[in-house]
């Protein structure tokens, strides 16, 4: 039996989306400007970035490269948690639609992320989709640490969190 890679990616998107949605809902807008370290993103920057990542699937499907030096990509500005969640839903739907229209035969087509001559990622369309999933998990874990440092109980991702175990 042949595995349906697109179906598997859509299932993973649904699973990761549900976890991400729970985490983003906890972001306190009165702490948007907070950062745990001078080299860290602010809470707002991190949460916005995380909310936008599902739209990267559309970049992988509809483009063959992203060049940050061309200025086509700009982070979305949000003012509150409601807008953050709306941004995530918009990104999620765009990403889902992109994966649904991605022909499996195009998965091995080259894809590049660059800043002019500097190449940050040289992969395939499938590799870019996997990179976006990895970025979601990575930045969601960062958000969990940020929330923990703010004494906000966090939900579990792949099982109960320490906060949920105490209940």
- The CATH number covering residue 93 comes to 1.20.120.450
Whether 44 is in a domain gets the answer yes
Residue 48: name the closest of 158, 114, 111, 142 by CA.
142
> Cα(77)–Cα(31) distance, rounded to whole angstroms?
16
Residue 139 labelled as part of a binding site: yes
Residue 131 labelled as part of a binding site: no
Whether 34 is in a domain gets the answer yes
The count of domains in the chain is 1
Whether 74 is in a domain gets the answer no
Q: What pTM value is reported for the model?
A: 0.93
Whether 119 is in a domain gets the answer no
Q: How far is CA 22 from the centre of its chain?
A: 13
Whether 18 is in a domain gets the answer yes
Digit-coded pLDDT (tens) for 14-63: 999 999 999 999 999 999 999 999 999 999 999 999 999 999 999 999 99
- The whole domain housing 23 covers 5-67+83-102+125-159
């Amino acid at each position: 039996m042949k595995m349906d890679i697109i179906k598997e990616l859509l299932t993973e998107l649904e699973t990761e989306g549900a976890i991400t949605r729970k985490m983003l809902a906890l972001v306190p807008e009165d702490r948007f400007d907070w950062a745990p370290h001078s080299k860290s993103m602010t809470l707002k920057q991190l949460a916005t970035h995380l909310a936008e990542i599902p739209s990267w699937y559309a970049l992988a499907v509809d483009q063959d490269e992203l060049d940050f030096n061309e200025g086509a990509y700009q982070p979305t500005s949000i003012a509150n948690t409601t807008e953050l969640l709306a941004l995530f839903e918009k990104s999620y739907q765009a990403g889902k639609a992109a994966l649904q229209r991605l022909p499996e035969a195009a998965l091995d087509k080259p894809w590049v992320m660059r800043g002019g001559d500097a190449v940050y990622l040289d992969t395939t369309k499938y590799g870019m989709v996997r990179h976006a999933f990895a970025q979601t998990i990575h930045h969601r874990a960062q958000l969990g640490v940020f929330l923990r440092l703010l004494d906000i109980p966090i939900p579990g991702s792949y099982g109960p969190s320490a906060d949920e175990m105490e209940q």
